Copies of this chain bind each other. A is one copy, B any other.
Amino acid sequence: MRKNITLKDIASELGVTAMTVSKALNNHPDISEARKKQILEMAEKMNYIPNALAKNLRTKSSSLIGVIVADNSNPYFANSIKGVERVLSLNNYHSIIFNSNEDPKRERMFINDLRSLNVAGIIMAPALGNKQNVEMLKGIHIPYVLFSRYIDEITDTYVIADDISAGYLATKYLLEKKGGKVVFINSNLDVSTARNRMLGYNKAFAESGLPIDSGLVFSGALYISDGYELTKKILKKISPPFSLLCYSDYIAIGALQALSEENIKIPQDVALMGIDNIEYSAFTNPKLSTVALPSMQIGISSANLLIKIIKSKTSLDIKSKQIILRPHLMIRDST
């Protein structure tokens, strides 16, 4: 690799010292306009690229931000990452991305990598119910924001959707429209999102006065295929008409496929509803009703919050470090 141009190279070209060049390049007041102009032009001409690592080492600052998710190809995370990347690059930060695959050991390893790289902060969706790594983050005083999920509702810093509302809005709508038989395919209850959507489900039932049948609730769905297989199983045990609420649109697409294969009429026999509002949901057949979560906005807010934390000299009130974004119903043709 060709040798990079350094401050020294520019300096010797101009017969000044490196610090004078540094000052010119950093808009330091202690420098004459003529010198500054001369130096800037030479830097331009020599195609100077500052060495950010050296700068970081010296100033103990950093433009690097770690972003840890379970899986960047999950459309929900993909959207959030897009929001994060947009805000960070706009503010001259750089996103280092890791997929934890929901494995706390990998997550821990990545956090140590990020410490080693001296990152300015970390944005992460903590792996399934793993408490220790978030504790570690707090312990080492690296600015961090959890996104999409939290571990400790009271003490963590996070940006999430109001998952209780999401579960509540969906269930309430289905109860009113289709009655009390609301089957719920939920995700892994180790995740705060799944627990809270369940709470919302229960709340809607409580409000309606209708009894909850725990035999209608299924947990642990993670992939499209789980939605597909669980729905097939459900159809053998529970006879239509009923409503089917899924933890995510992703899961609901699997359910949709199973329902189609069994020639179930949607929404007449089974009213199907997802949560998330991923792009594909508007293009399924029938179009999927869902609860829209602001996935990109969660990324945007997380990045903005992290930057605010990094830049604030005094520590912020915990309340201002917990952002909960509101979901809304998106009724299409499947309910």
A285 at the interface (CB under 8 A from B): yes
Shortest Cβ distance from A86 into B: residue = B99
Tell me, yes or no, whether A75 is within 8 Å of chain B by CB.
yes
Distance (Å) between the CB of A91 and the closest chain B CB?
Answer: 12
Partner of A96, one of B56, B72, B96: B96
Could you tell me the distance between the alpha carbons of A89 and B71 in the complex, rounded to whole angstroms?
14
A25-33, A34-42, A112-120, A168-176: which lies at the interface: A112-120
Which of the residues B51, B78, B96, B284 comes within 8 Å of A95, measured between beta carbons? B96
**Is A2 at the interface (CB under 8 A from chain B)?**
yes
Q: Which of A57-74 contact B (CB under 8 A)?
A: 57, 62-64, 67, 71-73
User: Smallest CB–CB gap between A25 and chain B, Å?
Assistant: 12
Which of A53, A54, A95, A118 gathers the greatest number of chain B CB atoms within 10 Å? A53
- A284 CB to nearest chain B CB (Å): 7
Scan residues 226-249 of chain A and give those whose CB is less than 8 A from a CB of chain B: 228
A316 close to B (CB within 8 Å): no
Q: Are A75 and B75 in contact (CB under 8 A)?
A: yes
Whether B97 pairs with A95 at a CB distance below 8 angstroms is yes
How many residues of A are counted as interface, with CB atoms below 8 angstroms from the partner's CB atoms? 56
A254 to B280, CA, bound (A): 9
Q: Is A318 an interface residue when CB atoms closer than 8 A count as contact?
A: no
- Interface residue from B113, B256, B283 paired with A256 (Cβ < 8 Å): B283
- Residues in B with CB closer than 8 Å to A51 are 57, 116, 118
Name the contact of A224 in the complex, choosing from B57, B141, B279 (C-beta under 8 A). Answer: B279
Known contacts A53-B118, A82-B72, A140 near B2 by CB under 8 Å: yes
Give A112 to B63 CA distance when docked, in angstroms.
Answer: 14
Judge whether A142 is part of the interface by a CB distance below 8 angstroms: yes
Contacts of A140 in B (CB 8 A): 2
Give the complex CA separation of A305 and B194 in angstroms.
Answer: 40
> What is the distance, in angstroms, from A88's C-beta to the closest C-beta of chain B?
10
Given B50, B99, B118, B141, which contacts A116 in the complex, CB threshold below 8 Å? B50
Q: Does A154 reach chain B (CB closer than 8 Å)? A: no
Report the separation of the CA atoms of residues A65 and B65 in the bound assembly, to the nearest whole angstrom: 14
Chain B residues with CB under 8 A of A64: 96, 117
A81 & B89 in contact (Cβ 8 Å cutoff): no
Say how far A265's CB is from chain B's closest CB, in angstroms.
13
Are A285 and B284 in contact, CB atoms less than 8 angstroms apart?
yes
A78 cross-chain contacts in B, Cβ below 8 A: 72-73, 75, 78
Give bound CA distance, A85 to B106, whole Å: 13
Cross-chain contact A280 with B253 (CB below 8 angstroms): yes
A67's closest neighbor in chain B, by CB?
Answer: B97
Extra A-B contacts (8), CB below 8 Å, given A51-B118, A96-B97:
A2-B140, A2-B141, A51-B116, A57-B57, A72-B81, A89-B99, A254-B283, A257-B287
- Between-chain CB contacts (< 8 Å), 21 pairs: A1-B141, A1-B142, A4-B118, A49-B112, A51-B57, A53-B118, A54-B57, A64-B96, A64-B117, A67-B97, A72-B82, A78-B78, A89-B99, A89-B110, A94-B117, A95-B98, A224-B279, A254-B283, A257-B282, A257-B287, A284-B284
